Amino acid sequence: MLTLYQFEPAWGLPNASPFCMKLETYFRMTGLEYQIDTSADVRKAPKGKLPYIEDKGQIIADSNLIIEYLKTTYGDPLDSHLSPADAGIALAMRRLIEENLYWALVYTRWIDDENWQKTKDVYFSDLPFPLRLLVPKIARNTVTQNLQGHGMGRHAESEIYQIAALDIQALSDFLQDKPYFMGDQPTTLDASAYSCLANILDKTLTSPLRDKAAQLENLVAYCDRMHQTYYP
């Protein structure tokens, strides 16, 4: 059986990592049998991050590379009906979500001072003293450097939320009143979109990012549908 290595659930979400949640959602959407292991040390994980999977003794890391492996190995029940043009659009939307909007979510959790206290409690409260004091500072500095390297962290806070608001509005405009982003059938794009949007809409943290998403009724209803369908 496939083993999915990921973080433990947090904040009432299947996973507080959009990428872990995306991969588990993909498993549920395709009906692939899997088991979850939350004991993996992220510092020793391939590429130094979660999720990753183990299948038939083979380790595969990175959610997108994992999905491509699963499609090649077990078939492609979600995206095989898409035309080349639609597949290209779906990939572009995934890039919007995972390479841009995601980083605004990271900023909200790790850099915004008010939300940082809540993030720190979720991720590090179980650490023994003095690690409970040291590790959060190191982790936050690392995230700050990653944001700077990506480019999102070089903007002012108001600019970051302005950029993210345009992404969220684009998702709402593209979804319109469709049940799924690419039409009547769910696709891999939905695993990515739902996982990121559900994390943004979570009520644990407050930010202009969440406020914008909560104002768009079709995105809220979409997340509710996805949750009821795949995490009943």
pTM of the model: 0.95
pLDDT score of 142 more than 90: yes
CA distance 131 to 133: 5
What own/partner pairs with CB < 8 Å and gap ≥ 24 does 178-181 have?
179/225, 181/90, 181/93
Give the mean model confidence (pLDDT) for residues 93-98.
98
Query: Helices marked H in the chain — which ranges?
Result: 18-30, 63-74, 84-96, 102-110, 113-124, 131-150, 157-175, 188-201, 208-215, 217-230
**Nearest partner of 168 among 88, 104, 221, judged by Cα:** 104
User: For position 53, what pLDDT does the model report?
Assistant: 98
* pLDDT classification of 222: cutoffs 50, 70, 90: very high
